[in-house]
Structure 1
Amino acid sequence: MLCGPAAADFSAVIAAVKPSVVGVGSYQRLRSPAITFNGTGVVVGDGLSVITNAHVALEFPNTELKEELGVVIAGEGTAFSFRPATLVGIDKEHDLAHLRLGAGPPLPALKLGDSATLREGRDLAITGFPLGMVLGLHHVTHRAMLSAITPVIIPSASSRQLDARAVAALQRAPFNIFQLDGTAYPGNSGSPVYDPADGTVYGIINMVFVKGLKESAISSPSGISYAIPARYVHELLQRKAP
């Protein structure tokens, strides 16, 4: 257990990180509740860019119901607010999405680091919303160690263990993901994985997409958490909006 100056420093980093971590969801005026939550996002760049998982962003919006995509910002106590955003970039291969906030001031942004510099054994942290808005929109932070850097998918021992999604992934260029020993839940999808010393982001938590590929051959899925390296976030941010 941490104590003394190190614990105090980490507390300060968490306090600095929290304003940059938002919920990702939708708003529909006639719905109850009007605001829904689907995952976590992190503010980067100029304070108007939000990175999350593609599967989180693509669930919204339903234009027929006049549903609006956006971010949910935690306030004091149980308060929260909604801010509209536009989906300007998508990377389905790495399950990443780039949202741009509309009218309003920039939010505090976190710095993206060079994920290629990470080595196994590195101490990291995760901040997000593992329970969504079930008990209120409250940031939750977990420590994590980079326990392995592994391929996103491995060949199955039997063709019976393959599904269409896994076959398609095997046909694409392979890439490595971060395997963490920290705890993350579905609501954490899109959460930043960062250096607990200074808040620099090195990855984005991904639970649904990676587990569907990585653990498809396991009868009892593990509690391992996974993250997409930040190098793919850099690449997505460099793409021109359609």
Structure 2
Amino acid sequence: MRRYWLLFAQAVTVALALFMVVTAVRPDWVRALRVPAQGATVADSVQVRQAPLLAPTAGSYRDAAGRAIPSVVNILTSKSMGKNHPLLRDPFFRRFFGDRIPQQDQSSLGSGVIVSPDGYILTNNHVVEAADEIEVVLADGRKAPAVLVGTDPETDLAVIRIKLANLPAIVLGRAEQARVGDVVLAIGNPFGVGQTVTMGIISALGRTNLRINQFENFIQTDAAINFGNSGGALIDTNGNLLGINTAIYSQTGGSVGIGFAIPVSTAKTVMEAIIRQGRVVRGWIGIESQDITPELAQSFGLPVEEGALIAGVVEGGPAHRAGLLPGDILLTVAGKRITNTADMLNAVAELPPGKQARMTLMRRNRAHAVNIEVGVRPPPPRVR
């Protein structure tokens, strides 16, 4: 009997020693053998495998998005409608209700981009146009009222400003180096669902004649842009700002893969002018023009197939004083070749008002050079 007891004691000792070794070397084996505690479900005892921490893959744009997201803000605007209600101008209506019409606030939603630690934010003019109050919501949850610094309706850009500390300003990219096929990300707040990042490519550059703005030079992208994205950021794969998302082409109101952004080069020029002098001052010579097409040139026997055909001259304006006439074809402005009306508008707008500018034109199959004293482009009529 004693012999059996010794064998049992030795077996138990060996088993305990093996258990301690296994516990130290392979603890996962021991955990797999544990019985669920009383009251625990089977699911509670299931062991899952956690993937190790990995560096971003080559196909991920998390770093670019992470750098730009803090700089993109939501913009809330409100406009008091009661005082301007058309019924208040009706004498019959006022006879019965007087001034007891309740004030109505109309809120709209858009996006903006912090471009300076001093609190300057770029957005679209149509986002803040005619707003009585503007509130900015940052990606970190902070809120602040904003003041309107200035607008430029002809490019649909606006600058607002907030006063907060530690503002994350975005890095401005180089839109002139962008190429068709480059990957881009659009950041904004579509339909008010919250800050959203979408991906696409640059589909085209230098889009004009879309009749969206007076001055157009759009970046076209298929990155999804929807209502609420206006004023948001179009960034490159380094997180740098390439453009301000402005408009989409859609028959349904939703994204169909054709969106347009104002290049950051244009936005920067407009922003600096607004901050410096409250508005953008552009050159103006007082003409109406239309593009010359091969069909038009053939029909009217024009000697050239490109340029800006002067259709009208503003009486008393700079072009009128310089002797320009309807039917003249503008070929160059300050040495810049003019191929169409968009070229003419941009070239004239860049001229400093009050200075002389040399231009060449075609009249009756003969080239002429004229000097025109550039005027100040009048502001567009305000939409009420």
Displacement, 1:116? 1.5
Partner of 1:234: 268
How far does residue 111 in structure 1 lie from its aligned partner after superposition?
1.1
Residue pairs, 1:156-167, within 5 angstroms: 166=211
Matches within 5 A, 1:200-211: 200-207=240-247, 211=249
How far is 1:151 from its partner? 3.0
Question: What does the per-residue CA deviation read over 1:162-214, in whole Å, with 9 as the maximum and x for residues that have no partner?
Answer: xxxx4x96xx5x53211111111011111111112x2110101112xx64xxx
Which runs of at least 4 in structure 1 moved beyond 3 Å after TM superposition? Answer: 34-37, 218-222
- TM superposition shift of 1:220: 10
Q: Which runs of 5+ in 1 are unaligned?
A: 29-33, 62-67, 155-165
SS at structure 2 position matched to 1:188: coil
Q: How far does the alpha carbon of each residue in 1:37-56 deviate from its partner, in whole angstroms, 9 at most, with x for none?
A: 51011111235111111000
Asked if 1:115 is matched to 2:175, the reply is yes
Matched-pair contact (CA < 8 Å) for 1:89–1:236: no
Contact 1:98 1:236 in 2 (8 A): no
Letter paired with 1:111: V
Change (3 A) 1:35 1:7: farther
Structure 1 residue 142 corresponds to structure 2 residue 190: no
- What is aligned with 1:188? 229
Partner of 1:16: 67
Specify whether residues 22 and 115 from structure 1 end up closer, same or farther in structure 2 by C-alpha distance, changes over 3 A only: same
TM-score by length of 1: 0.71
Amino acid at match of 2:160: L
Distance 1:106 1:60, change over 3 A: farther
User: Per the alignment, do residues 83 and 42 of structure 1 end up closer, same or farther by CA in structure 2, a change over 3 Å counting?
Assistant: same
RMSD: 3.1
Amino acid at match of 1:101: I
Post-superposition offset of 1:35 = 11
Q: Does 1:85 align with 2:146?
A: yes
Q: Are 2:129 and 1:58 equivalent residues in the alignment?
A: yes
**Higher RCO (Cα < 8 Å, 6 or more apart):** 1
SS in 2 for 1:16: helix
TM-score under structure 2 normalisation? 0.46
State which structure, 1 or 2, has the greater radius of gyration over its C-alpha atoms.
Answer: 2
Q: How many residues align?
A: 197
Give structure 2 stretches of 5+ with no counterpart.
1-54, 80-104, 279-384
Give the aligned residue type for 2:155.
H
Whether contact under 8 Å (2:225, 2:255) holds in the other structure is no
2:277 and 2:149 mapped to 1: Cα distance? Answer: 5
1:27 and 1:82 map into 2 onto residues whose CA distance is 15
Contact 1:45 1:111 in 2 (8 A): no
Q: 1:220 to 1:58 in 2, by over 3 A?
A: closer
Measured in 2, the distance between the counterparts of 1:220 and 1:81 equals 30
Contact 1:70 1:83 (8 Å CA) reproduced:
yes
